[in-house]
Amino acid sequence: MPAIVLDGKAQAAQSEEELKERVAQMKAKSGGKTPILATLLVGADPSSATYVRMKGNACRRIDMDSLAIELPEETTTEQLLSKIEELNANPDVHGILLQHPVPEQIDERACFDAISLAKDVDGVTCLGFGRMAMGEEAYGCATPKGIMRILEHYKIEIKGKHAVVVGRSPILGKPMAMMLLNEHATVTICHSRTQNLSDLVKQADIIVGAVGIPEFIKADWIKEGAVVIDAGYHTGGVGDIELSGVIDKASAYTPVPGGVGPMTINTLIWQTVESGEKALG
C-alpha cells in the first residue's frame, strides 16, 4: 500500500479558507476590527526577512491585519524589551512574533519571555511551554503544534505509539516531545550526540526529524510502516531525513517542501485568530 502523503500545503490552504470566514465574522461583530499579528524583525538577515514577509502574506490572504516592525542591527536588549512591552499594552495587537534569531548582543530568551502569555501565539515563552507541558491552556510552539494538527487531520494514531524525536531545541524538539506525550505516545528524545541513534530510530512508530542537519537521519534507520515527519528544510530542498529512501516503506510521510513548513505559518495565524476572537468577543 503506498504511503500517505501528509500534504501540509493543501491542509494549510483549506485552513486559510476556514480562517477567512472566522475573520469575516469577527469584522461583522466588532465594527470592522480584525486580529492583528505584530512581527518584530531585528537586523537585516535575509532569511528572517523572507519568513516575516511570508507571515505577513498569510495574514493578508485571510483578510487579517499585520503590523511589521523592523529594528536596526544594533538594537539593545532594553530597546527590544521596551518595544515588546509597548505591543503587550496595545489592545489592538493580538499576537506578537519575535523572529528568531536576533543579533548576538540581545538576550533572546529574556525578550521571548517578555511577550504576554495571551499574545504568545508563536509559543516561545517559558510560561507557555510549562503550561502546555502540564496540559494547561497555552498556545503551542508553531512548528510542533502544526505537526500535531497534521497528525490529527490525517487521523494518524498517536496513543500508545513509540515516537522518537530527534532534536531538542526549545521551540521544536522539546515542545514536540511534550505534545506527543500529552497525546499518550511513549516518547524518546534524541539529538545529534545520542549514542546508537540508529537503533533508537529503528524502534519508532512515529519519527520526527528536528535536528537541523541535512539528511542526518538515514532512510535505512526507519522501520517499515513508520510515520515520518520531517521538520527540517535546507538548501537544495532537503530536510533532516533521507526521504528518498523512505517513501516506499513509510506508512505516511511529510514531503519537503510542502509538509511541515506551510502548517507552521498557518498555525501561527490560526493561533492569532484564536487570540483575536478572545479579545474581540
Q: Choose, from 55, 83, 119, 174, the residue flagged as catalytic.
A: 55
Q: What is the dihedral of CA 58, 65, 71, 113, to 10 degrees?
A: -80
Active-site choice (65, 122, 205, 240): 122
Q: Cell match 533508537: residue? A: 200
The single residue of 7, 11, 83, 99 carrying the catalytic annotation is 99
Looking at residue 42, the DSSP 8-state letter turns out to be E
Q: Which of 168, 175, 167 is nearest to 144 (CA)?
A: 175
Is 99 noted as a catalytic residue in this protein?
Answer: yes
120 is catalytic: no
| SS3 at position 186 | strand
Q: Is 122 part of the annotated catalytic residue set?
A: yes
Beta-carbon contacts of residue 201 (< 8 Å; ≥ 6 apart): 164, 166, 190, 207, 217, 221, 222
d(CA 112, CA 115): 6
As a whole number of angstroms, the distance between CA 243 and CA 255 comes to 8
* Cα 143 from chain centroid (whole Å): 2
> What secondary structure, in 3-state letters, does 60-71 show?
HHCCCEEEEEEE
Q: Which residues are catalytic?
A: 55, 99, 122
